[in-house]
A and B are shown apart, each in its own frame.
Chain A
């Protein structure tokens, strides 16, 4: 308080009392409270008290089949992977306490980058602390003010955030629409820098992009191409390199972005590229420079896992079987699915609305099955989805069990 002034320092009546910077979240708070008031178990506050295997955990006190963890290749409990992590923890300690460009590059970081170069058969690999940061960093750094990013409207948040951070002109096109993409590329002013951003598998519906056609068009208009293969690595393609491999466009894409937090089974993100100047990224990419590098145990587990994934063709085949079985089973039960045919290890079950979706989620979790509840605004077309992601470690019997839990829950909630 100032002295000797008649007026108080603060105005006596505060305008907009009861509101502050958090007021903008009131709608979300109300939506959440409304949902939970009905006695609904909170879909966004699940605790796994014990994790038994890549496919089983004790969730909220119940033995639960995991069908929503993106642990596609089930590497999280692989004995070689776990052993590599333990060894690195013992040899190099619990963390690097530093940026990759200062004191945070250990032998393990170079080794995991070499494993990625070997896995993809590419010249350069750069590891980030998360997959989110890989997209954020690469996109914001290469597409700056005055450049154009042409991207699918259903792109992941990390892609959108990379665009916003880089200040490029952002031009979205309708999901997987080849013609819409071409029209936009054609209209971009001559001479402007162009980056086309695509995903191999879109995580909401589990559908695959027509990369063969899209990459060819991008190249025709002189655009660089970045493909996010987060949901396909290790599983799609003969060598598990992703949709780019199946589509035969490995040599035409400029950057592949991926993550360690799905098939690889730990945490971290990366970008691989054949661009001759790629290494400069390490100095100019802020989300790479201004954060601590991954702990030694994490890069050691990642490297071991990536090298094992190169020889994972049997597991890939079994995961495809699981995907086909679950897709067919759910379809036969009468559920509406995100894709007509299984295109990836994600099967999205479309719910009539959020209320039914939440009720269905709860019935599943009580029946011993965990799936992801996805709701607007993260979903395309404002859909409510129950997203199932399969694991190569799910047995045929487990898929059968999953189907019977779905059947019972679906009848209980009145969806089928």
Chain B
């Protein structure tokens, strides 16, 4: 899958968690803009992991602050 396809898929997965209907851009942050708490993060990450059959460890999650970084990370992980 290329980056655009990964982006589209993650957008789809993020929709149910985006309770306030925030417009998601590359710079949208999970903690501040989307107000994800730790439980939401866990469920959201689990959905992505299952969809792409990858692991995003907590260590990797700590490096991801905004949406663009997430798409980059998943694009890279699923290519391996």
A-side interface residues toward B, CB under 8 Å? 148, 153, 163, 169-174, 180, 183-184, 187-188, 377, 381-382
Contacts and interface: CB of A to CB of B under 8 A. Distances in A.
A184 B58 CA distance: 13
A219 to B, nearest CB: 20
B42 interface: yes
B50 interface: yes
Contact of B55 (A184, A381, A382): A184
B49 A172 contact: no
Contacts of B59: 169-170
B23 interface: no
Contacts of A188: 55
Interface in B1-51: 37-39, 42, 46, 49-50
A383 to B, nearest CB: 11
A148 B55 CA distance: 11
A187 B58 contact: no
Given A170-B57, A172-B58, A187 B49 contact: yes
Contacts of B37: 382
A187 B60 CA distance: 15
B53 interface: yes
A187 B53 contact: yes
Nearest to B61: A170
Nearest to B37: A382
Contacts of A163: 58
Contacts of B42: 153, 172, 174
Contacts of B60: 169
Contacts of A172: 42, 58
Given A174-B46, A180-B46, A183-B50, A148 B39 contact: no
Contacts of B53: 187
A49 B49 CA distance: 52
Nearest to A151: B58
Nearest to B53: A187
Contact of A187 (B38, B39, B55): B55
A131 B50 CA distance: 35
A163 B58 CA distance: 10
A171 to B, nearest CB: 5
B41 to A, nearest CB: 10
A171 B55 CA distance: 8
